Structures are given as structure tokens and as C-alpha cells.
Amino acid sequence: MTALYRKYRPQDFSEVVGQEAVVRTLRNAIDGDKLRQAYLFAGPRGTGKTSMARILAKALNCAHGPTTEPDNSCNVCVAIAAGSSLDVVEMDAASQRGIDDIREIRERVVLQPAQGRYKVYILDEAHQLTDAAWNALLKLIEEPPPHLVFVFCTTDLAKVLPTVRSRCQTFVFQRPRLQELVTLLRRVTDGEGIEAPDAALALIARGSRGSFRDAVSTLDQLSAATEGKLGVQDVLQLVGSVEEDALFRLCDTIVDHDTAGALVAIEELAEQGQDLGRLVTDLIDHLRHLLLVQHVGHVPESLPVTEETRDRLREQANQLPEPTVLWLIDLLAVAVDDMRQGGDPRLPLELALVKVTRPQADLSRESLAHRVEVLEERLHAGPSAAVSRAPSPVPAPAAGPAPQPQAATEDAGLGDHEGEGEHALALEQLQDAWTRSVLPAVRERSIPIATLLGEAQPVALAGDMVTIEFAPAAEFHRKQLEDERNLELLREALHDVTGRRLVVRTSVGDAGTGNGDAAVDEPLSEEDVLSLLKDTFDATEVEE
């Protein structure tokens, strides 16, 4: 039986997924009669390089061609698809890499095509040709017979000689996005009658690491194991991927400083048979996504995540401090090193989670540096946010985190609340995200407006109305922001970060905000600084 990845490989340009730039260039070259004598297709494995080379050969030799729409039914197209065409020669440069093999090519290329218009030589894994073989090909590549076309496919472009690259048109194939992989998998499941939810296909796509062939091969294996009916648990058991929800829940325990919850989560995943080594690598990928969102200000389109995950990713990026993300990535790198040496990743993983959820228990230099970074971030956020976000000296109850912060965690973007306490918590979230996410989002749209807002801070959130307060000396900045176009720009940035359409009202610090909070420009008192030092470093005040 034919493997699914071979059965469903694209047969013409319209079926190619994720390589629009390459397809557009080749189409225009054929339509404009601008064919070149040598092409170099480079990119990761399983991205369609050899399939594209076959499609190009069909387009040049089709009975109705040269055409960008080969009919796939004429004798030439059928022979090329079956690999039996005398005019399209596929060679594996990994095994035919010597100068003798190239001499054989030079002897054969002088012959005219048997059926089509061109003789097309496709050399796969071309980077494995020896330097002597490449040098023997140079003259033929530069001045070939008019009926000869070379297509070199490689996964390592850097190993191809520069003199060869200069004689070829080079196309770099990109890794497909998650949604493009899911689209291809859905086409295969529909064609084969396989029942699979979108969540299962997304897990397969995420585990394929950007390879069409790996994704379809995994689907082929799963369909055989489940008799055509596969679910999320089937994918998790066979592929070893970690469900996205498990990664989010694990990071939620870090947000809540819930050491027991983090260790219990690891225990549950281990009891389910989860590969903890894969958990470490997937958690590092998840933290990388959080770091990108924190610095870019929004979820980049290039991230391999589903649409349902984007809102949760943006919310968690606003909740988890950037120094904590960086520190945890460094700690997990230790687990990766242990795995490379054949060690068990469980203990390094658990130690990393304990250190980030209970930093006061770790007295190493790295831990102290991390706690200083967190303290500086709180001080930079303003005195009200710094004091309110400081950990409570009262130990948390054994039952786990308090329900009120958990409710705030589940709220996907400072949504509507009822009750004064929840309003204060939503305002705290907005103040926390102001410098980290809102201002960068504004800066992407207008650097001058972002500079104006550097003198401001949200001080009140009532329903869908947010009050932005400027310092007493920043009245000019406030008037500039009052322009409707500038306000609309700020509203768009707030919507990107919070997911809510907020009405913006401005005020000046000396006029008061009306919510009873202290002005954000007031310096921290000595008692506030001492409280932060005690809570962050578990310090004790010593009387002289």
C-alpha cells in the first residue's frame, strides 16, 4: 500500500500549501518564458522541495505546455507522477555523490528528450555531493544544452558551494504554519474517511515541527492504531505531545506561587505516562511564546498556536513577570543538559518549579538576582502597583491559592466585573500590563504618542471606562492625547492587549482621580520600601 504522505503529495501548483512565494515566481517564469537552466530548492525536511521539482517538470513537459496548469492526465504527466519518465531523472546525491556519477550525467544530457520538451535532472540532498563532483558540474550548469534543466534540493544550503549557488536561482522553502498543516491534515482525513477533531489535528501538526511529511506520516500511523477514529488522548499517547491546556495550567501555578499545585501537576502527568523530557521541551517552547508576546506586545502570526490559544497566551503573558520567564528558561536548560547525558529530567524539572514558585527558599546568586529584577519591575510599575503586588507575609493556606486571584486568572482580558474588589484587581492587571504591553502596542502605531503616554498611568477602571492620569506638569501631553485620532490609536492598543473596547478618559494628577487611590507619581515611603524588601528577600529588620 502507498503511504499517505506519497498518496497526498501535491500534483500541481494549486495544491501546494505554505510556499506561495515560490509558486508565484515559478508560475510567472513559465508564463513569461523566463525559464532558467538551474534551480536550487533549499529548506527544512518535509516542506515539499522534491514535490515542487516534480510539479515544475510536469509544467514544462505536459502535452498542453509549457503551462502553469498541467493536466495530470496526459502520458507525460502520468509517467512523471509514477517516477517512470525517461525525461525526468531523480538522483539521490547521498548515494550518488562522486565524480563518476556526474560524468555519467554529462554523457547522457546531450541526448534529446524522449517524450517531453526538457530533460529535468532532480538531485535530492544535493549538499552531499563532493567538491570534485560539483566542480565537474559547474560548466554544465552554466552552459547547458537548451533542453536541460537542473533542480537541486537540499536541507543544508550553507554546504552548497558558492560558485554553484551563484549559477542557480535559489528558492528557500519556509516551514508551514500550524493552520496550514491542519488544513492539509483535514484534507487527508476527509479523503481517507478518518474521524478526527481539530484539537487532535492541531496536536499532530505541533508535533511535526513544521514538516508536512512528518505530520501526514503521524496521521497515517494513528489511523492504523485507532481504526480510523482518533482523539486527543490517542495523539498524546502515541506522539508524546503535551496538551496545551496542561502547559497553561502549569504556568498558572507559577503565577499563583503554588508550589504544591506545580508538583502535583507533574505527578499527574507522570502517572498518565507523559514523557517528561517532551514536557520540558514543550514547556520551554511555551515560555518562549510568552516571552515573545511580552516584548512584541501581541501574539505574532508566526507562532504555531491555534486561534483559541491566542487569547490565553496574551492573558498569561500579562500575568507572568518577564524575569520569572527568563529564570525558568535558564533552569529548564539544566534539565535539557541532563537529558542529553541520559539523565532523568523529572528532578531538575521539579527543582526548577520549586525555585520559581518559592524564590525565598533558594539562596543562590541567580535566585537573588531574579528577586532583585522582580523588585525593580514592581518599583518601576509605580508605588500602588508595587505595594499591592508584593507577596503577603502571611503563608497561604494548604488548600491552594485563594479563589479571588484564580477568578482573575480565568478572566480573559479585564472583562466586566461586579463588586469593588474585582474592579481593583482588574485595574491592577491593567497597570501591570501598561508598561509591558500597552505602551509597546502604541509604539508600533505611533512613537510620538507612546512618548506622550510615558508620562501617564491608568488610575481607575469603572466598567468599560478607563481613566488615564498625567502628572501635574504634563498638561501639554494630556491635551495632545485628547485629539480624537490619538485617542482612537490608544483604544486600539488597549483592545489588542485586553480584548475589551474601553472608553478612555484623561485627567491631571492635581485634579484627583476620584477613586481614593494615591497618585502614581508619589515616591515610595520608607515603610513601603522596607515592606518590599522583607517580602521579596524574606528579610528581617535588625535594630542597631
Higher pLDDT, 305 or 361: 305
Range of the domain at 503: 427-544
C-alpha closest to that of 213 among 173, 240, 244: 173
Final residue in a domain of this structure, among 328, 357, 386: 357
Q: With respect to residue 112, please indicate whether it lies within any of the assigned structural domains.
A: yes
Strands 38-42 and 148-154: parallel
- The vertex-208 CA angle with 124 and 158, nearest 5°, equals 40
Assess whether pLDDT exceeds 70 at residue 334.
yes
φ, ψ (nearest 5 deg) of residue 229: -130, 100
Kindly state whether residues 261 and 219 are assigned to the same domain. Answer: no
Q: Assign residue 198 the CATH number of its domain.
A: 1.10.8.60
Kindly state whether residues 50 and 156 are assigned to the same domain. Answer: yes
Report, as an integer, the average pLDDT of 523-540: 64
Q: Assign residue 431 the CATH number of its domain.
A: 3.30.300.180
Kindly state whether residues 308 and 342 are assigned to the same domain. Answer: yes
Confidence of residue 543 (pLDDT cuts 50, 70, 90): low
Final residue in a domain of this structure, among 147, 172, 197: 172
pLDDT digits (tens, 9 = 90+) for 81-136: 888 888 888 888 877 777 777 888 887 877 888 887 888 989 888 888 888 888 88
> Whole-model pTM?
0.55
pLDDT digits (tens, 9 = 90+) for 449-474: 888 788 788 888 887 888 888 888 77
Kindly state whether residues 282 and 345 are assigned to the same domain. Answer: yes
Report the distance separating Cα 36 and Cα 49, nearest Å.
Answer: 17
Assess whether pLDDT exceeds 60 at residue 370.
no
Strands 503-508 and 38-42: unpaired
Higher pLDDT, 325 or 308: 325
Final residue in a domain of this structure, among 334, 357, 380: 357
Kindly state whether residues 257 and 284 are assigned to the same domain. Answer: yes
CA–chain centroid gap for 492, Å, is: 23
SS3 readout for 198-249: HHHHHHHHHHCCCCHHHHHHHHHHHHHHHCCECCHHHHHHHHCCCCHHHHHH
Assess whether pLDDT exceeds 50 at residue 306.
yes
Assess whether pLDDT exceeds 50 at residue 419.
no
Q: With respect to residue 418, please indicate whether it lies within any of the assigned structural domains.
A: no
Report the distance separating Cα 191 and Cα 203, nearest Å.
Answer: 20
Q: What pLDDT is stored for residue 432 in this prediction?
A: 79
Kindly state whether residues 107 and 129 are assigned to the same domain. Answer: yes
Confidence of residue 366 (pLDDT cuts 50, 70, 90): low
Q: What pLDDT is stored for residue 400 in this prediction?
A: 39
Q: With respect to residue 454, please indicate whether it lies within any of the assigned structural domains.
A: yes
Kindly state whether residues 182 and 168 are assigned to the same domain. Answer: no
Specify the number of domains making up the chain: 4
Kindly state whether residues 107 and 161 are assigned to the same domain. Answer: yes
Report the distance separating Cα 494 and Cα 451, nearest Å.
Answer: 16
Question: Which grid cell sits at 304?
Answer: 504555531
Look at residue 115 and give its three-state secondary structure.
Answer: coil
Q: With respect to residue 362, please indicate whether it lies within any of the assigned structural domains.
A: no
Q: With respect to residue 305, please indicate whether it lies within any of the assigned structural domains.
A: yes
Kindly state whether residues 168 and 193 are assigned to the same domain. Answer: no
Report the distance separating Cα 373 and Cα 371, nearest Å.
Answer: 5
Q: With respect to residue 401, please indicate whether it lies within any of the assigned structural domains.
A: no
Confidence of residue 312 (pLDDT cuts 50, 70, 90): confident
pLDDT digits (tens, 9 = 90+) for 64-81: 878 888 888 888 888 888
C-alpha closest to that of 263 among 253, 276, 272, 273: 253
Q: What pLDDT is stored for residue 113 in this prediction?
A: 83
Kindly state whether residues 337 and 230 are assigned to the same domain. Answer: no
Q: What pLDDT is stored for residue 525 in this prediction?
A: 62
Assess whether pLDDT exceeds 70 at residue 293.
yes
Q: Assign residue 294 the CATH number of its domain.
A: 1.20.272.10
Assess whether pLDDT exceeds 70 at residue 523.
no
Q: Out of 28-37, 178-187, 305-314, 519-528, which region has the weakest mean confidence (pLDDT)?
A: 519-528
Kindly state whether residues 53 and 148 are assigned to the same domain. Answer: yes
CA–chain centroid gap for 395, Å, is: 37
Q: With respect to residue 372, please indicate whether it lies within any of the assigned structural domains.
A: no
Q: Assign residue 74 the CATH number of its domain.
A: 3.40.50.300
Q: Out of 7-21, 175-189, 248-262, 363-377, which region has the weakest mean confidence (pLDDT)?
A: 363-377
Question: Which grid cell sits at 144?
Answer: 547547458
Higher pLDDT, 530 or 75: 75
Report the distance separating Cα 276 and Cα 346, nearest Å.
Answer: 6
Q: With respect to residue 411, please indicate whether it lies within any of the assigned structural domains.
A: no
Kindly state whether residues 234 and 265 are assigned to the same domain. Answer: no
| DSSP output for 141-194 | HHS--TTEEEEEEES-GGGS-HHHHTTSEEEEPPPPPHHHHHHHHHHHHHHHT-
Q: What pLDDT is stored for residue 364 in this prediction?
A: 56
